[in-house]
Every structure is written in C-alpha cells, then in structure tokens.
Amino acid sequence: MAGYIGSRASVVSSGAERKKTFAITTTTTALTGLVYTPTKVHVFHNGVRLVDGTDFTATNSTSITLTVAAESGDQVVVVSYASFQTSDTVSASAGGTFQGNVTVAGAFTSQGIDDNATSTAMTLDSSGNVGIGTTSPSSYYSKDLVIAAPDEGGVTIVSGTTNTAYLMFADGTTGADRYRGQLAYDHNVNEMSFATDGSEAMRIDSSGTVGIGCVPNSIQSGFDTLQIGGNLTLNVDSTGAGAGVYMGNNVYRDSTNSRWEYINTDEASQYYQANGTHVWRYAASGSANAAISWSEAMRIDSSGNLLLGTTGTNWATTAGLYAFNQSALNVTRSGAESMNLNRLSSAGDIIKLYKSGSAVGSIGAFGNSGVYIAAPTSGGSALVFNGNAPILYPAKNNSGTIAVADNAIDLGASGVRFKDLYLSGGVYLGGTGAANKLDDYEEGTWTPTFENGTFTYNVQNGTYTKVGNLVTIACNIGWTSRSGSGALIIQTLPFTPINSGNTYRGAGSLGTISGVNKPSNHQMTVGVDAALAKIFLRYFADNSSWVGTNVGDLSASGEIQITVSYHAQ
C-alpha cells in the first residue's frame, strides 16, 4: 500500500487507493461525491484519522457524515481502498481452474460446473436447474434435476437388506404433508408400495402380485394376479392360447393349499375363460380362507353355444337352457314348465312365428284368460282356447285383432280332409237346437238265435248301424235241423227298443227266405216287439188279421234274411 495508518494525508498516493480532499469553506458535516466500499474507507480531519462508526458514518458508498462538523479553513481527506488480493487465486471475473478439491461450508451458487474433461458431467444453471449428463436441463418439462442416462444407466438408491427406502413427494413440512405421495421399497420382504394423499394406494409383492387399495393375498405360484379393493381379483394361470383368465369377487388362489378360497366371509362369484370357453360360476357364503365349491351358472363353449344351468349339450335328457350357435333354442326342465312368456297390459301376440323373415303365424293372449293360435294376415283363420271353460272357438284375424267367427271357418276341405273324428258327445248339424244334435253313431255285429225250439245253425250273421237312436239291423240265420214248437221269434237285439205300452213297433223287410211253410195266400212280415225287445215273424193275408208263426212251420233246413229298423232307448 502507498498509504499507512497514521501517515499524514498528504503522503497518501492515489495508486491502489482512491483519495479525495475537501477544502472546507463553511461549517458542514456532509462529505459527498464519493465512491467507496463500506468498511474500506479512512477519513482524516486536519491530518487526524477519524474512527469509523464513532467519528463518522460511511454506509451508502457515496457520502460520509461527520459526527463533529468541519469548520471553514479545515481540510478533510477521504481515502478508499481496493479489495485485498492474494497470489494463486481464481479470478471471480475472469474465471479459472481449481486443480484440487474445493470445499464450501455455506451455500454454493454457480452458473455452471464443468469437470474440464471431454464432455460436461454436470451443469447447475443460473435458474438452479441441475443437469447430469446434459448441459441444458432447462430444455425439459420437469427441469429441476435432469439425468441423461445411457443404456443401462439410471439412478440407484442403496439400502440395507432389512431397510425400507423412499422417494417422497411433499407439499408441506409437517405431518402427512411431508409424504403426500411416495414410492417405497421394503427390502425385508421385497415389496414395493405406492402412496397417494399420505396413504398406501398400491402394492407389488415379491411374487409380482399387485394390490390396488389393499394388501394382496398370498397367491399360488403361476397365477399372475391383480387384486383391487380387497375383493376383486384378476388372474392369469399360464401363457399362450390356452391361458386361463379369471375375474372373481371375494375369491383368490391360495399359495399354501393351491385352491380357490374366500377372501372374506361372504358369497363368491367368478368368470373365467380358457381354450375358447367362457364360464360364469358362483358359490354360497363361506368362511374367509375356506375352500370354495363352485356351482356353474352359465357358459359359452368354444363352438359359440350358450349353456345355462348345464355344462354339456345333451338337451334331450339334461335340464338347462341351450342356445346353440346358429341353431335351435332348447329349454329342458324336470317336473315343471320349461318356459314362461308374459305379456303385460293389453291382450295380443306373445309369440310371433316367421319363415325366411316373413310372418307365418302367432300365439297370443285372448282377453284376460284365453289363448289363440292365428294366421298372420287379415282374414286368416285362428283358433281360440277359452281360458274359463272347456271350449275351442273358431276365429279370424281382423287386421291384427283376433276375434271369434261364427259360421265362418271350415274344418278341412273337399280335397284336404281329416281322417277320423273321435267324439264322446254329439254333433250339431245344420243348426244349434236339440233336434240338430247327432249324439251317437255306431256299427257292429250281433248273433241272432231263435227263442223257441232247438236248432242246429249253419249261419248266424247279424250286423247293426246305430245313428242317434235309430237302429238298423240285418241278420241271416240258417239251420240244418230243428225240433220243438213255439212262436218264431229272433233274439237278442243289440239295443233295447223304446217301449211305449207295446204300441210302438219297428218295421222291417224280408230278404231270401227258404224252409218256411207259410199258409196259402199269406205273406210273412217282420217287426220289432217293443215290449219283448225281440224280432217277431207273422203271417198276413189280404184284408185279414195276422196269424202267428210256429217253429213247426219250418222245414228241417232253411234260411231267413231280415232287415229291421227301430228306435232304441
């Protein structure tokens, strides 16, 4: 230095120092127009050095205030000194290189760090962004710390084998604000967990099982599992086309027993698919960690068939619903109805039938209790089943509305006839009154015999036709020997005649007669004795009363053919 403490102000040079002399002309305490560094300035008043902070104040680098005012004729000298410098230093303005280590006890601020090698290892830019392996951390979205990692590069957090290490996300310095989000790895059990809002949200255990919102159960090896919220599990049991994929509620694959078990005490259900087959199944409520016994509810097999309540396709003998791919819908049930179809509100079609996309018929509700089967077009025929009485009604389709139709529907046609009609009641023909009712028709055979005498028969043929209560009988009775006597009466009629005091008689005719020796000028006649319910034979002459016949009138052999009609009871 050119100036020394205690020297007269006049001997201080202006080389390394800056000096300004004030010739005082009036009383003053203010010295202005200065440039100095506080604490690096000396003030001399009439050659006497003043004490900084006691005799003067110098804090703003441009002016100084004297404690005791200078008077006119005084001289005040202000000397300011440059910063102290030593050799072997790195200039703050020009920069340089440190050959050894640098230790900073306080905060370290820099516009950039260069290891002076062939590339920049780390950069701390003027915004406080740190780049490792990159010189431009500010180019990235999250730029506070940017690491440019080469192949197999990255960041490593080292902990002990029983320790847990964290990567924390904080929004405060107290409580859970210090770890609102976190990623933790527990080396003791080799599990990784993720937390949000200060609580664990997801965990991956050592087997790769993932739990979201829960700690996952211990899963059997070979079952890759995602467990959500405790009860929902997603499993894959292998790889490739035959892999089994499972989605379950309250079910997990236990690692110890290698079986499906309940997570909690409750019901369980599961969907799985493997080898092209999809299965839905369920289990009744069971205890936590107990084995599950499944009941299958539905499956879609690899052929695209939908099966409910069954696992096979044998619909003919096994109960279930079978919806075969591009084929029939079959419903099988043991001991009860197989299908219920319910139409609410108005009556009308319940089932529509189609052929190649065109309607061919329908089955529907008639009124509140009846059922109809109908043709699809207006004017087409229909059949109505009365739900309150044992009656079938002919009906027609009237523009989509089914209505009964009196005297409008034919049963068969001239070239399209029904074969046999079995009735236990009657048929009303040409009207609806009692006189129009035909309640019986019957054909059959019977065996005619003579009531009196003894005969050796060689022919005993009898037939009958009954229409309503009108019976027409025919018989052919022949003999090869005879004996005895008595009236010629043929018995026994197939139906009992109406008996009205023996006043009602049936009438008939005779066919071939042989072996009958009738009186001269007499004709044989035949009728029905209603009271006796037998056929009688008589002789009549012109304008005379009848004459009875007798077995003795017959030859040793002969034959009589008779046709008779009468009204049966």
Domain 441-567 annotated CATH 2.60.40: yes
CA-nearest of 46, 47, 52 to 70 is: 46
Instruction: Give, for all 569 residues of the chain, the pLDDT tens digit.
Output: 334 444 444 444 444 568 999 999 999 999 999 999 999 999 999 999 999 999 999 999 999 999 999 999 999 999 998 765 555 667 767 777 777 766 666 655 555 555 555 667 888 888 989 999 888 999 999 999 999 999 999 999 999 999 999 999 999 999 999 999 999 999 999 999 999 999 999 999 999 999 999 999 999 999 999 999 989 999 999 777 778 999 999 999 999 999 999 999 999 999 999 989 999 999 999 999 999 999 999 999 999 999 999 999 999 999 999 999 998 999 999 999 999 999 999 999 999 999 999 999 999 999 988 999 999 999 999 999 999 999 999 999 999 899 999 999 999 999 999 999 888 888 999 899 998 999 888 999 999 999 999 999 999 999 999 999 999 999 999 999 999 999 999 999 999 998 876 555 678 999 999 999 988 888 889 988 877 789 999 988 877 778 889 999 999 999 999 999 999 98
Between strands 251-253 and 245-249, the pairing is unpaired
- Sign of dihedral through CA atoms 263, 265, 266, 269? positive
The percentage of residues in the chain with a pLDDT greater than 70, rounded to a whole number, is 90
Residues 6+ apart with CB under 8 A from 541: 519, 521, 522, 523, 547
What is the rounded distance in angstroms from the CA atom of residue 420 to the CA atom of residue 432? Answer: 23
- On whether the CB atoms of residues 47 and 8 are closer than 8 A, the answer is yes
CA 256 to centroid of chain Cα atoms: 33
Separation of alpha carbons 116 and 354, rounded Å? 89
Contact 488/526 with Cβ under 8 angstroms?
no
**So where are the chain's domains?**
9-81, 115-152, 205-300, 348-404, 441-567
How does strand 470-483 pair with strand 554-567? antiparallel
Q: Are the beta carbons of 79 and 12 closer than 8 angstroms? A: yes
User: DSSP letters along 530-548, please?
Assistant: TTTTEEEEEEE-TTS--EE
Q: Is the Cβ–Cβ distance between 50 and 36 less than 8 Å? A: no
d(CA 205, CA 211): 8
DSSP 8-class letter at 197: T
- Report field, pTM of the whole predicted structure over 0.85: no
What is the SS3 assignment for 468? coil
The predicted-structure confidence for 311-347, as pLDDT tens digits, reads as follows 999 999 999 999 999 989 999 999 999 999 999 999 9
